[in-house]
Structure 1
Amino acid sequence: MSESKVRLADIAKHTGYSLATVSKALNGRSDISDEARTAIDQALKASGYQRRGQKAAGQRYIEVVFQDLDTIWALEVLRGVLRETRHSPDISVITTESGTRQHPDDDWITGMLRRRPFGVIFIFANLTEKEKTKLQANGIPYVIFDPSGEPSNDDFSVQADNWAGGVLATRHLLALGHTRIGIITGPEEMMCSRARLDGYTSALAEQGIALDPELVTEGDFTTEGGYAQAMALLENPNRPTAIFAGSDLQAMGVYEAARQNRLRIPEDLSVVGFDDVQTSAFLGPALTTVRQPLHDMAAVSTRMLIDTAEGRPTQHHVILPTTLVVRGSTARLASEAR
């Protein structure tokens, strides 16, 4: 039924709410109760009311919420989402930049309720119980991609095996004779950062090597942060002979720090990254890294969202394997080569 054939006054009379409250629900305003929003939305749906600007039946879209879209990492994730939606021609993708790695902006949910997506993929961010309730009340499923904290049992989430990736990177450097291995983690509050650090620590412990706090520094997954933290590590008179960067972007910063310190990679300093973004193979030398299957993770997140929205059973939590990709940025420690 078209908008002109359904009066909002009738919806207000049917639900018992004021016309102003019906209007707020219709426009995605946040200053009404979840109970009122649910009742009004159900009445609107039952009446066949179609919002102004709402897409015609059969046209749906997924909203992907990033902290920012100015890195190749984010573009790799988006490519994975688009790859999966090609199998569903009626589903389009929109992106939103909002908030931090832990949480979208407070006003994001108001705008989202106005946009009425088919489903939402959150990159990193975890949600409050109130926000989850609003999404559920409006029939909008969501998936958390690489959650920053421990997902709840009711959440749907997809992540890589970060602990195993940390073990693989560190074992590789140990096998090359390195024992003073620096690590540039991601933000300490993020679960993936802690897991990679735990993997690094476990691999050292396997060889009876105690964790040296001087070799552990916290980054922010950016090239600038990787550069700053690498400079700090390399200023140490007893500097590391190898650095495990918690992301490929940070590894790029390590390359620049090494150049400024007149250190050759890998002859003077071995470097391992994490992610295997598209550009890592084209650095000079090509970067040894832990491949996090970003495309597959994004595709699985998208399929999980579609299956949930369409009532098909799906796993709640998926962890995909990581693998080591050995290229030219790591080499046997010089003293070991003789």
Structure 2
Amino acid sequence: MEKGDELGRVTLADIAREAEVSVSTVSKVLNGRTDVSAPTRVRVERILRAHDYRRAARSSAEAPLVEIVFHELDSLWAMELLRGVEAVASEHGAAMVVTRSGSRHAPGAEWIEAVLRRRPLGVVLVFSSLPPELKRQLWARSIPFVIIDPAGNPDPDVPSVGSANWAGGLAATRHLIELGHRRIAIVTGPADTLCSLARLDGYRSAMSMAGLRVDPALTAFGDFHAEGGFARAKRLLELPKPPTAIFAGSDLQALGVMEAARVCGLRVPEDLSVVGYDDLDIAQWSSPALTTVRQPLREMGEQATRLILALRTGEAPATPTRLELSTTLVVRSSTVPPGRR
């Protein structure tokens, strides 16, 4: 039996005896080794769950790692999150490991096998959900996890970090309404992502509070990328009654919106006002400089990592935590009153 692998009265030897395998086989399953047959792995995992087995925390002799998981890495907002995670990990003498789950919002079996071998201090997942089986496997190894901007509605037992997306959508739309815009479109993010829906709800709330009708033709779900923003904005601008302003669910989408306006022969902001979301560095250097909602991405990465470490040491509250950081409207020169032709 490995030192420190006993928890309460349940030991590796107990698990091995019930599963009718060797202690080394149970250890291999716990460590994510691939040299265990699938039926044996399933049987051992079932018994570990039945006993609510939790492996003791890692030995101080092991290299400390914090793992951050993206389903995509080709965006500037990902770099801001990485900076936040790396800063806090470094403060605690830990290194950072970056992995991709592919196009899926939930990592698969090949990822869990690799992370169990690495045994990080904890895992930060971005725009993700975590299937019950994967949660149980991480819990059994005492590997805490936190989700930044969950893809779906997270289970009550899953800690998460996000920003005030509804308030951000409300502030962006109110700004356009206060400038005098009435026909306001939105190009939000994916329809299956909570932050996208929250920004859309903020937009709808601002329109409703101002007594303005929300035209379904002016709502488009995007993908947070410039190409998607371009394609959706072009369709909006080709409508018989196009919008005078567009609220984009990300700065990258806003850049696509601005390019679509140029292709359609419109000027920003004289013919079309544009608001983004994130306040990436590129926002202040676009032409014109982009009005946007600042999302504290680096701070979100920092808070997620601090929560991981607090869960690791037992300092976090027993009840799973949802941290929501504030957003701020940053007004620049891409928004003006309508009709300045």
Indicate the TM-score class for this superposition, using the shorter chain for normalisation.
0.7 to 0.9
Pair 1:142-2:168 in alignment: no
| 1:113 pairs with one of 84, 101, 116 | 116
C-alpha change, 1:119 and 1:45, in structure 2 (3 Å) is: closer
Whether the 8 Å contact between 2:15 and 2:48 is mirrored in structure 1 is no
Matched residue SS, 1:107:
helix
1:322 matched residue in structure 2:
327
Which one-letter code corresponds to 1:179 in the other structure? R
Which one-letter code corresponds to 2:293 in the other structure? V
Whether the 8 Å contact between 1:185 and 1:196 is mirrored in structure 2 is yes
Please list the CA deviations of residues 230-284 of structure 1 after superposition, one character each: whole Å capped at 9, or x if unmatched.
1111111211011000111101111111111121111111000011112111111
Matched residue SS, 2:91:
coil
TM-score normalized by the length of structure 1: 0.87
Which one-letter code corresponds to 2:16 in the other structure? T
- Distance, in Å, in 2 between the alignment partners of 1:288 and 1:43 is 49
CA-CA distance at 1:69 after TM superposition = 1.2
| 1:75 pairs with one of 79, 83, 89 | 79
- Distance, in Å, in 1 between the alignment partners of 2:329 and 2:25 is 56
1:244 matched residue in structure 2:
247
- Distance, in Å, in 2 between the alignment partners of 1:107 and 1:189 is 24
Pair 1:179-2:182 in alignment: yes
Alignment of 1:136-215 (within 5 A): 136-215=139-218
2:16 matched residue in structure 1:
15
- Distance, in Å, in 2 between the alignment partners of 1:165 and 1:154 is 26
Whether the 8 Å contact between 1:242 and 1:269 is mirrored in structure 2 is yes
Whether the 8 Å contact between 1:101 and 1:148 is mirrored in structure 2 is no
- Distance, in Å, in 2 between the alignment partners of 1:131 and 1:225 is 32
Alignment of 1:261-280 (within 5 A): 261-280=264-283
Whether the 8 Å contact between 2:150 and 2:160 is mirrored in structure 1 is yes
Matched residue SS, 2:246:
strand
Whether the 8 Å contact between 1:166 and 1:198 is mirrored in structure 2 is yes
CA-CA distance at 1:22 after TM superposition = 3.9
- Distance, in Å, in 1 between the alignment partners of 2:296 and 2:144 is 23
- Distance, in Å, in 2 between the alignment partners of 1:224 and 1:68 is 15
Matched residue SS, 1:120:
strand
- Distance, in Å, in 1 between the alignment partners of 2:236 and 2:108 is 34
Q: Percent identity?
A: 47
1:62 matched residue in structure 2:
66
C-alpha change, 1:301 and 1:45, in structure 2 (3 Å) is: closer
TM-score normalized by the length of structure 2: 0.86
| Consecutive unaligned residues in structure 2, runs of 5 or more | 4-11
C-alpha change, 1:216 and 1:58, in structure 2 (3 Å) is: same
- Distance, in Å, in 1 between the alignment partners of 2:169 and 2:196 is 9
Alignment of 1:36-51 (within 5 A): none
- Distance, in Å, in 1 between the alignment partners of 2:15 and 2:217 is 67
- Distance, in Å, in 2 between the alignment partners of 1:304 and 1:68 is 23
Identify the range of structure 1 (321-330 vs 78-87) with the bigger mean alpha-carbon deviation. 78-87
Pair 1:28-2:39 in alignment: no
Please list the CA deviations of residues 144-167 of structure 1 after superposition, one character each: whole Å capped at 9, or x if unmatched.
001112222211100111110110
C-alpha change, 1:101 and 1:169, in structure 2 (3 Å) is: farther
C-alpha change, 1:313 and 1:23, in structure 2 (3 Å) is: closer
| Consecutive unaligned residues in structure 1, runs of 5 or more | 4-10
CA-CA distance at 1:56 after TM superposition = 6.7
